[in-house]
Amino acid sequence: MRSFIRGLLCPVTPIAKFTDIFIMIIIIRHIPRNTLIAELDEFVTPALKRFFFRSGSIVKTEILILRDIRTNKFQYHGLVHLDSQKTGQMVIKKLRGKRFKNRVTIVREYVNRSWHNDKRNYENTSDEIKQKRVGDRRGGSNLEVVKKGEPIGYS
């Protein structure tokens, strides 16, 4: 299976299914390069609480590192796998606009894009606009996945 990550075609695994509950992956965009997985967990954990009780849990946390081939600049994003769609929506709502390491967060649902689930209508779109969507706006073929997991050079 192949999918688009911010316009980049790359292999991905489908969303996992754990004991009949579909997990939700959220992305915390543009985190500092020295961020550790434990720090992302600490940032997300308070948003799991609802009325003094925990209403969900973190299944897995990763750091996604993308490199722009043209400029050789890196982008760091946090991927947090949560135990349910309901928990994911609650966490997105609570974390949107909060500060993480002195940066305002952009928190969204992470969508694995492929031609199977891409809802954008390309049939009635001109070739010029299609190329702009693939190439310029989202980094297109100029982005490559460097690593998923703990940042390089940090422990």
Rounded CA separation 107/96 (Å)? 5
Cβ distance 36 to 96 under 8 Å? Answer: no
Name, in order, each residue with C-beta under 8 angstroms of 136's C-beta and a sequence gap of 6 or more.
none
pLDDT value of residue 50: 74
pLDDT value of residue 111: 82
pLDDT value of residue 132: 60
Supply φ then ψ for residue 40, to 5 degrees: -65, -40
pLDDT value of residue 107: 95
* Exposed/middle/buried for residue 24 (C-beta within 10 Å: 0-12, 13-18, 19+): buried
pLDDT tens string for the chain (155 positions)? 444 444 444 444 444 444 445 689 999 999 999 999 999 999 999 999 877 666 789 999 999 999 988 899 999 999 999 999 999 999 999 998 899 999 998 999 998 766 565 555 556 666 666 666 554 445 556 777 787 655 444 43
Residue 47: CA count within 13 A, CB half-sphere: 25
Rounded CA separation 8/13 (Å)? 15
pTM higher than the cut 0.75: no
pLDDT value of residue 130: 60
Could you tell me the fold of the domain covering 2-148?
A: Alpha-Beta Plaits (3.30.70)
Put residue 98 in one of left, alpha, beta given phi > 0 → left and psi -120 to 50 → alpha: beta
Query: b/e per residue, 36-45, with b = 16+ CB within 10 A?
Result: ebebbeebbe
pLDDT value of residue 9: 41
Could you tell me where the DSSP H helices lie in 96-144? 127-132
pLDDT value of residue 143: 76
Cβ distance 92 to 107 under 8 Å? Answer: yes
| In the chain, domain spans | 2-148
Q: Per the structure block, which two tokens stand in for 136?
A: 């310029």
Q: Which residue has the tokens 């509950």?
A: 21
